[in-house]
Amino acid sequence: MSTTAITIGPAVVGSMIASYLFGCSTMQTYTYYRRFPGDRSVFQILVAAVMMLTFAHIVCIMYWTWTLTVTGCQNPDDITIFSNSRDANLIMTPLISTLVQMFFIHRLFKFSGCKTVAAFCGILSMLNLIGTLVDAVKALSISTNRTSQNAQDWLTILTLVAAAVCDLVTTVGLVYFLQHERRRTKVQQIHNIADRLTLWTIETGLATSMSAVLVIVFVSPFNYDGDDHASYQQFCTMRTTFLWTAVYDVLADVYTNSLLAA
């Protein structure tokens, strides 16, 4: 496979999918404000904040894709993952995911009343946010100093695993308590509402958690050196392949769509 196919190709595909999802989010946002003008102010502010971050996220992706496909054609050897727009995207994605995760954690707490599960998911969400921001700071230092050391592999994988586990636990918890409430009543209308909420919960939860898992898969392939020593490739040093960007580019948009679909 050519170098272009595993560098520029995934970046372009990821940008196209992210743009499509952003369009869906825009329509969902319009529908939300039109149909629910009396919704709680905190939820309206949350939707507005997530959409503004998502818009900035799309702008950064488009600018980065432009530098790869247009500016990069003039100097192919300078094509790299390190850029200011990319680093800004690395910061905005965990901000979006954390806001959305907190919304679902709040919903889980309302349904279950269990502070322990909600606190556990909250810790995982904050771990994802803090860890990713630390990695982003490392990436910024790499952008200005190509000889600097990268963030630790374990921290990168840990943050992605924390996000995936948080989404899975939240999803399983919501499904369990929804079905628990369903079994407590014999009213068919309540059954229909619980079943519909359960389906939406599974769809949105699996979409975000599986996206995080795919990023983990592409971020951490084994790389063998001359001594046949296996080591994990670094999230910020995969200069020969941008396969992970195709998934990571759409991760924030998946979270945004999940929030608006909820």
Q: What is the pLDDT of residue 159?
A: 84
Q: Are 174 and 182 in contact (CB under 8 A)?
A: no
Q: What percent of the chain has pLDDT over 90?
A: 24
Q: Are 55 and 26 in contact (CB under 8 A)?
A: no
The pLDDT tens digits of the residues spanning 191-246 come to 787 778 788 788 777 788 888 777 777 665 444 444 433 343 444 444 445 677 77
pTM over cut 0.85: no
Q: How many residues are there in the chain? A: 262
CA distance 158 to 152: 10
Given CA atoms 104, 106, 108, 114 in this order, what sign does their dihedral have? positive
**Radius of gyration (Cα) for the chain, nearest Å?**
20
The pLDDT tens digits of the residues spanning 164-180 come to 899 999 988 888 888 87
Q: Are 104 and 209 in contact (CB under 8 A)?
A: no
